[in-house]
Amino acid sequence: MKKLLLTIVLSVSLFFKSFADEGMWLPLLLGQQVYNDMVKKGLKLTKDQLYHINKASLKDAIIIFGGGCTGEIVSAEGLIFTNHHCGYDAIASASTVEHNYLQNGFYAKNKGEEIPTTLSVQFLVRIDDITSQVLDSLKGLSGAERVQRQSAVLASINKRMSDATQNIETRVSPLFKGNQFLAFVYQRYTDVRLVGAPPESVGKFGGDTDNWEWPRHTGDFSVFRVYTGADGKPAKYAEGNMPMKPKWYLPVSLRPLKDGDFAMIWGYPGSTNRYESSYGIQLATDINNPTLVKLRDVRLKYMFEEMKKDPAIKLQLASSYAGIANYWKFYDGETKQLLKYDILGQKKKAEEKFNAWAKGKPEYAGIFSDWGKAYEAWRPYSKHRQYINEGIFGSPLMGFAASLTQVEAALVKTGSTAGDVRKAVDAANKQRTTFLAGENKLSDEHIVAAVARMFYEDVVKDQHPVGFYGTLKNNYGALDDDNTYKKYAADIFKNTMIFDDAKWNAFVANPDAITLQGDPAYNFANAFYTNYSSKYAPLYSQFTAKNAEYGRLYLKGIMEMDPVKAKMMYPDATFTMRVSYGNVKSYRPRDAVFYDYVTTSKGILEKYKAGDYEFDLPAKQIELLKKKDFGQYMDPTRKDLVVGFITTNDITGGNSGSPVINNRGELIGLAFDGNYEALSHKLAFDKDLNRTINVDIRYVLWCIDKLGGGANIIKELKLMK
């Protein structure tokens, strides 16, 4: 009876809205009450137009772009819009100092000028509910045993439901912390070409200063196209391939926006953890987030110093720097918002209520006592883990050097064959080529010196690699002196074979363990890697297994405790297709401060600083804006060019590039950021202050047409006036 009740609760829980505009809903299970609420807010489309498994629908225009973004099809010839930062790697890879598309922008004047990339996109084919199948395989299991069995079961299902000959890939997503399982079936297309992008100064206007902030004036967009074989099926790149004929594409609206207009966002939000325990909140605010921010701050500092000196270095490090900086600011803001709104206190109150209900119920009564013990056991090592991931292996050199443990294992493992060794060495040789292409030795050397000292000072001494700092002191000097670490890092970078082609090639030709173990970079990386993996990684595995088990049981209990509340629950984001809906809406973040719902070209001119790293713009753009040469993209109510707008939609990382769609199913913008006042959104949604920051589609089109001269691209679109 309990199982039947749980299944019913899980099925209907996706149909109901919790409050405000919170919720990332699975379009497959978009229930009547949620749909009615969307209609009440202004939606004009039918449910079948939104999502249909057998007929073309809006969901067919929404794609996974690359490895972690969203894109949308906007023409009958497979044209894709997404964010500039989502296409950043491809734009940078296509650029050279002589043809710097990243710096100067690029628009193909015809399909022959489009640039091949290594990107792929994925279209959702269908979603299957396989909850019963998975849970039947996990009966009677708990903890690490359940985690291992679940991984094996999901891997088996993924393999069985995939077909490499058709580029069909299946990924089962656990929802509600492992209480429900859906299989998402995708088809991957690998011929994706760069069509256009604005200059970086437009696509990243405002830089780190404006990141996560409103008001915003960033032209965060790029344009690609997906190609197929002559038969319309996925195909590897070939000159004879054809632009895709999509099942559905989004028309583009040129209509003005009003405060309160309906807006929905479709896409692939990466991850949230809104059913996190109070223990998890406290660990994040006390240790994990501050440590991550501190370590990323150091890495960014040294990278930026070198990027300022040389355009070639800026181009080389730009993508890596942007990724590090993005979540440096995010986790800083998340911590502040969690503390400001006492999310810890709110979680504890909810857990007290649960514990009162759980008394006398053996399945649930001891959850929080045991859960607390699991966190107490792991907490002493949590900073160490952050230092390994964000500090020691935040150095590109040390990250690569650590990968050579696979080579050492092949060299020293009993029973290892010459073929095993050659396979490991060849893989390392290939990885080295990629590593060297992105490596900036000067910044990385500073990073290694800095994090080596920070680890020594911040991580408790009994967790240090045995003998490492003693040897460092004996050979280089006092451990409280920066010069000690600088000299040590300089020696590593000077003497490692990783940077010396002759030494490296000799090793590749005749690999031996003694040479590898004697390499200074490998010695550094291996000391920390071995120390962590042998002593603390097993503890982390035990902790994550227990954390998953208690989280699953807690959420299961919550649903049984309050079936009415369960109807208002939605699953955490898992990088699966979701739709959120809300309104274009202004807001008041604090006393006496009002934020309008749009920004305009007036704000661009106010922020513009010639020659500035973050606020410079092309001279042509400034000239056009000053002349108010807005063409058909001018907002008639403001007599200006609208640049960005905000909505109340619920999104998170992975939604970058997501289409913002009006009540008629037309594209009005691209989502690209959240606001600083609500950066707790991965763990707690703020119903009053949450805003999604979007680039207005009219500004995108103006940049393509007026600034970039890409009128041919505009002609492909279905413009709605």
User: How far is 406 from 410, CA to CA, in rounded Å?
Assistant: 6
4 pLDDT more than 60: no
Choice among 656, 673, 680, 686 that is catalytic: 656
Which residue has better confidence, 289 or 142? 289
5 pLDDT more than 80: no
What does DSSP say about strands 719-720 and 252-253: parallel, antiparallel, or unpaired? Answer: parallel
The pLDDT value given to residue 195 = 98
Active-site residue flag, 220? yes
210 pLDDT more than 60: yes
The pLDDT value given to residue 552 = 96
Q: What is the pLDDT of residues 500-536, one digit of tens each?
A: 999 999 999 999 999 999 999 999 999 999 999 999 9
User: How far is 283 from 372, CA to CA, in rounded Å?
Assistant: 11
Which has the closest alpha carbon to 204: 185, 180, 221? 221
Which residue has better confidence, 228 or 2? 228
Token pair, residue 390, equals 């964000």
Which has the closest alpha carbon to 107: 217, 240, 222, 254? 222
C-alpha count within 13 angstroms, C-beta hemisphere, residue 484? 18
The pLDDT value given to residue 91 = 96
The pLDDT value given to residue 116 = 98
Eight-class DSSP state of 98: S
Average pLDDT over every residue of 180-198:
97
The pLDDT value given to residue 252 = 98
Q: Residues 408, 411, 416, 419: is their CA dihedral positive or negative?
A: positive
User: How far is 697 from 661, CA to CA, in rounded Å?
Assistant: 10
Which has the closest alpha carbon to 403: 372, 370, 433? 433
12 close to 31: Cβ distance less than 8 angstroms: yes
**Extents of the domains making up the chain:** 42-120+190-272+572-721, 278-540
Give the lowest-confidence range in 22-36, 92-106, 402-416. 22-36
660 pLDDT more than 60: yes
Look up the CATH architecture of domain 42-120+190-272+572-721.
Answer: Beta Barrel (2.40)
Query: What predicted TM-score, i.e. pTM, was given to this entire model?
Result: 0.88
3-state secondary structure of 500: coil
Which residue has better confidence, 3 or 145? 145
Choice among 21, 191, 210, 220 that is catalytic: 220
Eight-class DSSP state of 571: P
Choice among 13, 21, 85, 686 that is catalytic: 85
Average pLDDT over every residue of 129-153:
94
The pLDDT value given to residue 642 = 98
Q: What is the mean pLDDT of the chain?
A: 94
Q: What is the pLDDT of residues 12-69, one digit of tens each?
A: 333 334 446 899 999 887 777 789 999 999 999 999 999 998 899 999 999 999 989 9
The pLDDT value given to residue 548 = 94
459 pLDDT more than 90: yes
User: How far is 568 from 564, CA to CA, in rounded Å?
Assistant: 7
140 pLDDT more than 50: yes
The pLDDT value given to residue 10 = 34
The pLDDT value given to residue 20 = 61
Share above pLDDT 90 across residues of the chain, in percent, rounded to a whole number: 89
Q: What is the pLDDT of residues 148-158, one digit of tens each?
A: 999 999 999 99
The pLDDT value given to residue 15 = 32
Which string of DSSP letters, residue by residue, matches 165-232?
GGTEEEEEEEETTTTEEEEEEEEEE-EEEEEEE--HHHHTTTHHHHTT-SS------EEEEEEE-TTS
| Beta carbons within 10 angstroms of residue 160's beta carbon | 10
Please list the residues that pair with 223 across neighbouring strands.
Answer: 81, 196
The pLDDT value given to residue 314 = 85
User: How far is 160 from 675, CA to CA, in rounded Å?
Assistant: 42
Active-site residue flag, 572? no
CA angle 426, 428, 433 (to 5 degrees): 100
Angle between helices 2-13 and 537-561 in degrees, nearest 10:
90
The pLDDT value given to residue 273 = 96
Is the peptide bond between 215 and the residue preceding it cis, with omega within 30 degrees of 0? yes
The pLDDT value given to residue 9 = 34
Give the lowest-confidence range in 37-51, 240-254, 306-320. 306-320
Active-site residue flag, 231? no
The pLDDT value given to residue 380 = 98
User: How far is 276 from 351, CA to CA, in rounded Å?
Assistant: 11
332 pLDDT more than 80: yes
Q: What is the pLDDT of residues 394-404, one digit of tens each?
A: 999 999 999 99
